[in-house]
Amino acid sequence: MKTIGKLAKELNISIETIRFYERQGLIEQPLKPESGYRMYGDALTSQLKFILKAKALGFTLKEIESLMSLSDSCADIESMGLQKLNLIRNKIADLQRLEKVIQDMTDSCKANQDPQSCPVINSLK
Amino acid sequence: MKTIGKLAKELNISIETIRFYERQGLIEQPLKPESGYRMYGDALTSQLKFILKAKALGFTLKEIESLMSLSDSCADIESMGLQKLNLIRNKIADLQRLEKVIQDMTDSCKANQDPQSCPVINSLK
DNA sequence: ATAAACTCCGTACATAAGTACGGGGTCAAT
DNA sequence: ATTGACCCCGTACTTATGTACGGAGTTTAT
């Protein structure tokens, strides 16, 4: 059993973040003995680790809540994954389009002879 | 000269958005005759169009403010573009890594035989 | 001339994911 | 027994980009 400070240090997050997840309903409020201090055991610790790993995968807190509530239904998890995959691929495609536009922009700057008139600015006008 | 409502409709944004850009200092407050109503001419209209186009390119309002203040210095614009390009490429790379992780996840779901234990959830635990 | 539509201003609310603060109680060490 | 470190709670603040609201004044149409 550890206090919130130890747990926060162990997980490399802030105390406030843990309290925040609790307020959001992602984790339960742990037992608080006479002192009123939260005491964390292994269950809550690994639940928090779960949250942090899922967050690193790009899931939002709301999605993580779903992930945890789905318990172990593999089909549901797979479907969330596929959905996420779709989002990611769309985002990549968007960014690649953007990349091309901005690449063209800077190219035209490089090719520009007149330093007083920027083709990018002109094209936006 | 048009009122804010006409302008908003013309640009397909809301009145509030125009007032918001004004508050943010992106555009000047236009002349307001006796009535107290904002009246917009061509200059402000094209400035707003500029903002909307730049926003569509993925520039933030803060960056757009810079873009407009740089007036026409092509080198500065190019450097902002290159910076943006860097960000975009990093974001793409991040997303591609993520794509692979989640692809693997869903693959392992598909290959899974026991519907009661999900390899994804297990790996997060 | 009256009603509908438009605009004004300031303020609060929205999202996501926290961070910061302030005044108080508690625990551990000296 | 006192000091410093730790924790409590509730609330406000943060960033970015707006959206919504409410009460008042103005303009336009009938």
Q: What is the pLDDT along chain B (125 residues), one digit of tens a residue?
A: 999 999 999 999 999 999 999 999 999 988 777 889 999 999 999 999 999 998 988 889 998 998 888 766 788 888 888 988 888 898 888 889 888 888 988 999 889 888 778 887 777 66
Identify residue A34 by its one-letter amino acid code.
E
* Contact map slice: A 4-63 vs B, CB within 8 A: 46, 50, 53-54, 57-58
Q: Which CATH architecture has domain B2-57?
A: Orthogonal Bundle (1.10)
pLDDT at A116 over 90: no
Q: How many angstroms separate the CA atoms of A91 and A80, rounded?
A: 17
User: Which chain B residue shows the shortest CA-CA distance from A112?
Assistant: B74
Domain ranges of chain B: 2-57, 74-112
Q: How many angstroms separate the CA atoms of B113 and B125, rounded?
A: 19
Nucleotides of C under 7 A from a protein CB: 6-9, 16-21, 25-27
* A66-95 residues near strand D (Cβ < 7 Å): none
Question: ipTM > 0.85?
Answer: no
